[in-house]
Homo-oligomer: A and B are copies of this chain.
Amino acid sequence: MSSIYGETFRISTYGESHGGGIGVVIDGCPPLIPMSEELIQIELDRRRPGQSEIVTPRNEADQCEILSGVFDGKTLGSPVSILVRNKDARPSSYEEMSQKYRPSHADYTYDAKYGTRNWQGGGRSSARETIGRVAAAAVAQEVLKNLYPKIEVVAYVKSVQGLEGSIDTDSITRAEVDANIVRSGDPKMVDPMIDLIKKIRGEGNSVGGIIECVIRNCPAGLGAPVFDRLEADLAKAMLSLPATKGFEIGSGFAGTMLTGLEHNDHFYMDGEQVRTKTNHSGGVQGGISNGENIIFRVAFKPTATVMKPQATVSKDHQDTELKGRGRHDACVLPRAVPIVEAMATLVLTDHALRQRALVGDSK
């Protein structure tokens, strides 16, 4: 279903950018996992608007409320329902959009699919929708830690347009990433990236880039053959995010330039542990994690909302023009970092519980 994700840890999200609120219901959450609104709020605060001078000024506290599934500070095993109210609604800002399709937005395709749409601020296609994912992942994260205490999921901005950082995937931490407002993985690129985003925004324009994510200390054995390969589920999870246009794992597209002899990751014993000398595979072989770092990259296009007049068509099929309005991010990447981590966490948690169903705790 379009708003349900996961097989064993299954989340059902809902909500338009304007209306009662945004939320998620989690079915299949294990019991006795420590949980509170505070724990969830930490992650929501990492994605919320208005965090810094380079993101949208939309002022939403995005305060969550746990409606069910938690009792005495722990999960019950019953569905965990989390609600975030919409607060700063200004539907009048969007009235022109009710009649004209914003270029490279989802206005036209929603109308084509459903014959209707909530034109206030993007409705279901608004990036606000990702609140449900981040809230669910905040719960998933505790489930995952409970199973694999050492697992780490760290994403960061790898590049903004042509500005590319250099990152040590073995050591980078969330704290380091969150320490700068652009969430660059490379301290040297922080200022150039901020300058670029400000410049682009000043021009009423927008810019995209690449987010990279590393998962460390993932045990070997997560994932599955055939359709639900770990990289396939990660690809789906990432391409399900607004504004994404590409996904690659390990050597990715560049790997097509290597030969097999160059690309193959040779195994060796590192004490008791099977390791590979190189990691072109990106931590996944045959759809299953091999214990090495899982490393993938996601391409985000430049934000579709720009502050210039653009040619477009109206709902009643006339050529017309539309100038972008409303609050927006000139570059979505800083706020997308915790969302990429959230989706990776949901994929891992679902596969971890599936693996436990299959072989028990022994693995």
Contacts and interface: CB of A to CB of B under 8 A. Distances in A.
A285 B104 contact: yes
A175 interface: no
A49 interface: no
A4 interface: yes
A106 B286 contact: yes
Chain A contact residues (Cβ within 8 angstroms of B): what range?
A: 35 or more
Nearest to A12: B12
Contact of A31 (B23, B263, B359): B359
A100 to B, nearest CB: 9
Interface in A235-260: 235-240, 242, 244-253, 255-260
A334 interface: no
Q: Number of copies of this chain in the oligomer? A: 4
A242 B231 CA distance: 11
Contacts of A30: 358-359
Contacts of A205: 259-261
Contact of A108 (B8, B12, B290, B360): B290
Contact of A289 (B15, B109, B290, B356): B109
A305 interface: yes
B78 A124 contact: yes
B245 A239 contact: no
A210 interface: yes
Given A77-B113, A112-B220, 14 more contacts: A1-B7, A13-B25, A14-B79, A23-B81, A67-B83, A112-B274, A112-B288, A114-B358, A205-B261, A235-B235, A246-B246, A248-B253, A253-B253, A261-B306
